[in-house]
Amino acid sequence: MMRSAVFGATGGIGAAVVEALAARHPDGVIYAGARGKIPNLPQGARPFVFDLLDESSIKAAAEEIGRDGPLDLIFIATGILLNGTEIAPEKSWAKLDAGMMAQVFALNTIGPALIAKHFLPLLPREGRCVFAALSARVGSIADNRLGGWHSYRASKAALNMIVRNLAIEMKPRNSEAIAVTLHPGTVDSALSKPFQRGVPAEKLFTTAFSAHALLGVIDELQPDDSGKLFAWDGAEIPF
Ligand SMILES: NC(=O)c1ccc[n+]([C@@H]2O[C@H](COP(=O)([O-])OP(=O)(O)OC[C@H]3O[C@@H](n4cnc5c(N)ncnc54)[C@H](OP(=O)(O)O)[C@@H]3O)[C@@H](O)[C@H]2O)c1
């Protein structure tokens, strides 16, 4: 029986991952986490509350879920690119702002790291299990040819580094445990809405397509893949 915890179940991709897990594992248990109420939860999914900016809420969620037993999959689908008010991707170094950078790092890097701190102990000590966090291709330093989006790119590059570290630290505890970051493609969600102009229709994925593709990638991961960044189609993206 598959037991999963999805963080960001109100998000475009997070909600679709919850749906896709429910469809793929009708007998499984899905813990669906968000900071507010989650609309349209599939039947049987168990909601929990957490806020990336409040470590005590993450700790409390881990204690509650941990009482039921170990998890097979931890999927982090949270993240921020812009919020319509104080956070917006910088087109130039002239737009760098310490407060905005700190917020983006708090949400995209530190939050997932704190989830790892409290939830990795819920993975079993033997057998296959996966920790996956949504990163982005633009977080690859090797892939950066356009520049801009300083805070978002850097926060995802830092997330990739954190997850590589987690992978190394997890290995002696369970040689079959896997930790990866994933690029979901360009997906039609609130996060990408302002940037969809110019994206060819066939390259703008539905949330359902991306969620199924990402779960397919997770299914195929091997222990040697741990610590790496993979795209929705299974291709490794060099850091
Ligand atoms: N969409 C794309 O094209 C694309 C491309 C590359 C990478 N990604 C990555 O994929 C991930 C998901 O993106 P998406 O498109 O699904 O975005 P989205 O629809 O905007 O979802 C973002 C999620 O993050 C949650 N969140 C934000 N702040 C939070 C906080 N303080 N505590 C708890 N949850 C919080 C949101 O919760 P609320 O509903 O409460 O705000 C929401 O569930 C992100 O990491 C993004 O960088 C997306």
Order the strands of the 46-49 sheet from edge to edge. Answer: 46-49, 29-34, 3-7, 73-76, 129-134, 177-183, 229-231
Residue pLDDT, tens place only, 11-54 = 999 999 999 999 999 999 999 999 999 999 999 899 999 999 99
What would the two tokens of residue 238 be? 């060099």
* 75-124 per-position pLDDT tens digit: 999 999 999 889 999 999 999 999 999 999 999 999 999 999 999 999 99
Find the 18 Cα to ligand 1 centroid distance in Å. Answer: 14
Residue 189 CA to ligand 1 center (angstroms) comes to 9
Residue 14 gets the label, from left (phi > 0), alpha (psi -120 to 50) or beta, of alpha
Average pLDDT over residues 150-158: 98
Tokens of 173: 């505890």
Residue 205 makes CB contacts below 8 A (sequence gap 6+) with 184, 185, 186, 187, 188, 213, 232
CA of 10 to the centre of ligand 1 (A): 8
Question: Across all residues in the chain, what is the average pLDDT?
Answer: 97
Cα 172 to middle of ligand 1, angstroms: 32
Cα of 9 to ligand 1 centre, how many Å?
9
- State which of 13, 57, 214, 217 you would mutate to test the pocket of ligand 1, scoring each by most atoms of that ligand within 8 A of its C-beta: 13
Q: Which atom of ligand 1 is nearest to the CA of 207?
A: 16
Q: How far is the CA of 173 from the centre of ligand 1 (A)?
A: 30
pTM, full prediction = 0.98
Around ligand 1, the residues with Cβ closer than 6 Å are 8, 10-14, 34-36, 51-53, 77-81, 107, 134, 136, 183-184, 186-187, 189-192
Atom 44, ligand 1: which residue's CA is nearest? Answer: 79
For the segment 42-68, the average pLDDT, to the nearest whole number, is 97
Q: Tell me, what's the pLDDT at 44? A: 86
How confident is the model over 203-225, as pLDDT tens digits? Answer: 999 999 999 999 999 999 999 99
The pick from 189, 192, 197 for probing ligand 1's pocket by mutation, whose C-beta has the most ligand atoms within 8 angstroms, reads: 189
pLDDT at 84: 85
